Amino acid sequence: MRPLWMAEELGIAYEHRPIGPRTGETQTPEYQQLNRKQKIPFMEDGDVKLSESLAICRYLRDQYPTSTLLLPDDPLTKAKEDEWCCYIYGELDETSLYVMRRHGDLGMIYGESEVTVSAARAYAEKHFEVVGHLLQHQHYLVAEKFGLADLFLMTCIDWANAYDVSLPQRLHDYHDRVRERPAYQRAMKRNYPDRFGDS
């Protein structure tokens, strides 16, 4: 979702080749030649080959800049964007939401654990409160302009909503506002055609 959304924000013409992470497609010799990590997403742009959604999104944003997205041009703004991206990716995505997925939805693979899921939920709610506190005073996470950190936060809020994680009202308000972006809506349709229809 994240690289697709970034590409849509930038107006890039791209080819989307959807594959599932647990269908065996990432383990084929052909895919492993592209990405030995056997993970998605993966991007090719000419000779550039990248995995990891943050790296892909940052590359696209920097390579094909647009005035509609924040492009930090000073050390402090770059550092603040890094701070929020690392925080969202580390504390919300990997340490809480993905732990809930791993030991809930994917329990048949990684082992089901209600205790672990409950603890991860509480951890997520604690850190969503931190982000929500910041958004009491500003519309976006960095420099009052929609950017990379917001894109990552939105996908985590979508994920949290799917898991019925309790969020502060200001994050629901933020989500309601940002999801009106046409690029977000196009990316959702591309990434979830079964849910939204592919158009």
Residues 6+ away with beta carbon under 8 Å from 97: 120, 124, 156, 159, 160, 163, 165
The domain total for the chain is 2
Same domain, residue pair 55 and 96: no
Same domain, residue pair 39 and 82: no
Total-model pTM: 0.92
Same domain, residue pair 54 and 107: no
- In a 3-state reduction of DSSP, which class is residue 51? strand
Range of the domain at 82: 75-181
pLDDT tier for residue 65 given thresholds of 50, 70 and 90: very high
Identify residue 29 by its one-letter amino acid code.
P
Same domain, residue pair 38 and 81: no
The whole-number average pLDDT for the span 92-118 is 92
- With respect to residue 61, please indicate whether it lies within any of the assigned structural domains: yes
Residue 46 and residue 60 in contact, taking contact as beta carbons nearer than 8 Å: no
**Confidence at residue 197, expressed as pLDDT on a 0 to 100 scale:** 61
For residue range 131-144, list pLDDT tens digits in order: 999 999 899 999 99
The whole-number average pLDDT for the span 46-73 is 96
- In a 3-state reduction of DSSP, which class is residue 106? coil
For residue range 3-53, list pLDDT tens digits in order: 999 999 999 999 999 987 778 888 888 888 888 888 889 999 999 999 999
- With respect to residue 197, please indicate whether it lies within any of the assigned structural domains: no
- With respect to residue 199, please indicate whether it lies within any of the assigned structural domains: no
Same domain, residue pair 26 and 101: no
Q: Measured between alpha carbons, how far apart are the two ends of the chain, in Å?
A: 16
